[in-house]
Structure 1
Amino acid sequence: MTAVLYLAHRLPYPPNKGDKIRSYHLLKHLASQYQVFLGTFIDDPHDWQYVEQIKPLCTELFIRPINPLLAKCKALTGLITGQPLTLPYYTDNKMKHWVKTVMANQGINNVLVFSSAMGQFVDLDSPAAVNKVVDFVDVDSDKWRQYSDKKSGLSAWVYRREAEQLQAYEKKLASSATASLFVSEEEANLFKQLAANQTEQIYAMRNGVDLNYFNPQADFNSTEHLSGSARIVFTGAMDYWANVEAVSWFAKEVLPLLTQVQPDVHFYIVGGNPTSEVQQLASPHVTVTGRVEDVRPYIAAADLVVAPLRIARGIQNKVLEAMAMAKWVVGTEQAMEGINPPDEIADTLPATPQLMAETILARLNSTERQTSHQAARQWVAQRFSWESSLQQLNQWFGSP
């Protein structure tokens, strides 16, 4: 079997957050057709328990731990070296040595880099015979630009600097790649504008959704203990700043407008590692669950799912999963980019509190909601398939 070196910045399991969902399905696809040599990091001690579940998919697995606090200190060296801070955060000599050794010993000439930060472990000037496919997923540099727009003072300067330095690195990495992949046409087109001389090497490879797993007909644990007869749910990693900003804005700006009209509304923030800012949102109308083993019972119990993101890039898996669970989604324009559902099955709105509140109230009290929800699941099933998306990889890595 053809060998592929797969480098991912986080253990591709469990598939419970945006990047891990995509990296896991990439791994599953590769493992079904190629010998996979996986080099990855673990930055959450909770994830060590999943190593044994990944091993059967790999011919060889190399894992390095990351201490987030120490890594942030390492990242600051980028201010001295002129690098984007993202690179020294992941710099690891043992990973670099393993990559060099395994490529030489196994004669590997097919490499899949997941996330631009992992590009530093592959020689950008290596021979053209090496197929270096880089899955950028999103244009991360633009995400840092969005962050800078929401900050002020020193934070704004640091984020602007990161946007500029990371964009330069992304373009350099793409110039050395056989193909650069992005999660949507919108992301691919944005990068084409940034790297105008490389447009023929830039492709969109959309995310999919596991319709068997996210199935509204499946049996779930009881959620009878959940409060409120009008349940609004948000799912996501709650240590990710874009999610933190989204739920904070919704809880402070939109929810009060809802409860004034409909006092039984209850907002569930479902996701692991909630920051102190998120925990402080807890109230008689807000539940912060923390880490849950399965988000599906909460989605199944929801009367409505919201995606109030004001900072976003790429495709939001949380939206696809809710639609696959036959739920109506009310989301911002940023959250719906790359998915672009028709108005008949979901609401795409400007991030305006009054408009979002009015729309949510109308949907909560709609008599046509169940029909529309089933239409959402059917629409997602027709357009977001992992199997069809991932077949693109074979054109660069050749026959198994």
Structure 2
Amino acid sequence: MICATFPYPPSRGGTQVRTFNLLKQLSYHHEITFLTQKAEDITTEEIEALKHWVKSLILFPRPANPKTGLLKKFNRFSQFLITGTPPNVSFLYDQSIQKWLDQAVENNNFDAITCEHSVNEIYIRPSYKNKIKTIINSHSSVYRTCKHQLETGTSENFKRDRLYLPLLKRYEKRVYQKFSHIVVTTDEDYQQLKEFKIDTPVSVLPNGVDLDIFPYRKSDPGGHHLIITGGMDYVVNIDAACFFSQDIFPLLRQKYPDLTLTIVGANPAPSVIKLAEIPDIIVTGKVPSMAEYLHKATVCVIPLRSGFGIKNKTLEAMAVGVPIVASDRGLEGMEVDGKNIPLRALRANTIKEYMKAISNLFEDKKLRQTLSKNARYYVENHFTWESLGKEYEKIIMDKCKLR
């Protein structure tokens, strides 16, 4: 398993959550060599904890973040244009890792190789799949994300992304062809690959929840307490927190004077920290237990305006039983409403829709109970890491002659 992002502890973020939990499930039945890069903030204790789940942990130093400046940015774009590889992928490349992997494939050391997140594709040569099964576990389409951010005006850098978009499309179409199997998290990403006319087999494997870490809450706290969760250094979550806090929260507070909003997530950006200046908004930063904060909330709001893939934050809120009001982006990959589908969350994409959905939940305890029970049952039956790990194992083992 290759993942440039060190996956422990799994509370660090979306990539870590998915990677570690699939690794954990696979480790019960297979010997795993895990290759990753160590950033400066990774502790010795975290390294030792990860070693418990693998046969061998291969560590390489993680490169420093790219330098800023107009000339540097121009050089990165020029390299993207020439090589066809995005800067966020190429900057992670380490020739020592490539040499190690080439030797391992040449020596037939492994039965299969998985790339946990699409950025790790850079180490997989097209020739590998003639000798070994290679799988890319793509967490979400970079091209789809960029395209949607441009369409919705949520792009962090409109000029840059407008230039990047056709290059990202070319990149994804090329990269996916070199793998034996592709794994995506949602049907929407699956449809995107069909549009690319890629002939590599594709499987949909959503994210999951550890139900021991996110237990179902014992009671409905009532009141008018909102919560927003997620890594608050990620541009998509920053935009969501700022949008809701500045455009919707003040309107709701006129209707519910005792309204509170707690924004929970590690490494809050300066713009998120500043939101705490708004009366009755609390920004916590990293907390020991996300479930504990979710249990105290009346409603969980997931006001994402961009970003693709199935959201861990949505699954976690469903697991603990807090009623959800979320955008289409926050609910991607999940069946929460519609014909013959039990109501599991309320959908909102405009300010008016958020106002109505949240008000309905505040004022209707029975509706809160319905969403709570339906969502928990849905997660238990479709989104546990135990069941998803078994599905991933089948994908890896299919047509793979394991020793």
TM-score, normalisation: structure 1: 0.88
Q: Is the 8 A contact 2:173 2:198 kept in 1?
A: no
Contact 2:267 2:285 in 1 (8 A): yes
Q: Which residue of 1 aligns with 2:267?
A: 273
Structure 2 CA distance for partners of 1:240 and 1:188, relative to 1, 3 Å? same
**Residue number among 352, 362, 385 corresponding to 1:354 in the alignment:** 352
Measured after TM superposition, the shift of residue 258 of structure 1 is 0.6
Q: Tell me how far apart the structure 2 counterparts of residues 65 and 71 of structure 1 sit (CA, whole Å).
A: 17
Aligned to 1:168: 170
- Native 8 Å contact 2:156 2:235 kept in 1: no
Deviation at 1:153, TM superposition (A): 10
Provide, for residues 2-42 of structure 1, a one-character-per-residue CA deviation record: whole Å limited to 9, x for no partner: xxxx1112111222222211111121122222221111124
Secondary structure of 2:325 counterpart:
strand
Q: Deviations over 1:73-111 (max 9, x none)?
A: 888643222232222221122222332234345622411
* CA root-mean-square deviation: 2.6
* Pair 348,48 (structure 1): closer, same or farther in 2 beyond 3 Å: farther
- Distance (Å, rounded) in 2 between the aligned partners of 1:232 and 1:303: 6
1:353-372 map, 5 Å: 353-368=351-366, 369-372=368-371
Corresponding letter in the other structure for 2:127? D
CA contact (8 A) 1:115 1:137 kept: yes
**Equivalent runs, 1:37-186 vs 2, <5 Å:** 37-43=33-39, 45=41, 49-66=45-62, 68-70=64-66, 77-81=75-79, 82=81, 83-105=85-107, 107-149=109-151, 155-186=157-188
- Measured against aligned partners, the alpha-carbon deviations of 1:243-300 in whole angstroms (never above 9, x if no partner) come to 0000100001110111000011111110011111111111222111111122111101
1:32-81 Cα distance to aligned partner (Å, 9 max, x none): 22221111124461566411110122222122343553377888643222
Aligned residues: 385
Q: Counterpart in 2 of 1:3?
A: none
Distance 1:386 1:127 in 2: 28
Distance 1:58 1:161 in 2: 41
Q: Partner of 1:281: helix, strand, or coil?
A: helix
CA contact (8 A) 1:234 1:268 kept: yes
- CA apart distance, 1:396: 3.2
Query: After superposition, where does 1:185-224 map in structure 2 within 5 Å?
Result: 185-193=187-195, 195-198=196-199, 201-217=201-217
Cα pair 1:234 1:269 within 8 Å, conserved: yes
The answer to whether residue 296 in structure 2 is matched with residue 313 in structure 1 is no
For 2:360, give the aligned amino acid. Answer: A
Alpha carbons 2:10, 2:17 under 8 Å: kept: yes
Structure 1, gaps ≥5 residues long: 1-5
Distance 1:150 1:47, change over 3 A: farther
1:26 aligns with 2:22: yes
**Deviation per CA, 1:148-197, whole angstroms, max 9, x where unpaired?**
3455999213123333323322222211111111002222112221x214
Distance 1:48-1:138 versus aligned 2 partners, 3 A rule: farther
- Equivalent position amino acid for 1:386 in 2: W
How many percent of aligned residue pairs carry the same amino acid? 24
- The Cα shift of 1:215 comes to 0.5
Match of 1:335 in 2: 330
Q: Which moved more, 1:299-308 or 1:358-367?
A: 358-367
Is contact 1:75–1:87 with CA below 8 Å preserved after alignment?
no
Contact 2:149/2:155, CA 8 A, preserved across alignment: no
| Structure 2: distance between partners of 1:265 and 1:109 | 55
Kindly provide the amino acid, as one letter, of the partner of residue 169 in structure 1: Y
Q: In the alignment, residue 112 of structure 2 is paired with which amino acid?
A: N
Q: Residue 243 of structure 1 corresponds to which residue in structure 2?
A: 237
TM-score by length of 2: 0.88
Amino acid at match of 2:36: T
Match of 1:27, as an amino acid? L
How far 1:387 moved relative to its partner?
Answer: 2.8
Q: Is the 8 A contact 1:315 1:338 kept in 2?
A: yes
C-alpha displacement of 1:131: 0.5
Local SS of the residue matching 2:225: strand
- Give the secondary-structure state (helix, strand or coil) at the position aligned to 1:137: coil
What residue in structure 2 maps to residue 14 of structure 1?
9
Mapped to 2, the partners of 1:391 and 1:298 lie a distance apart of 30
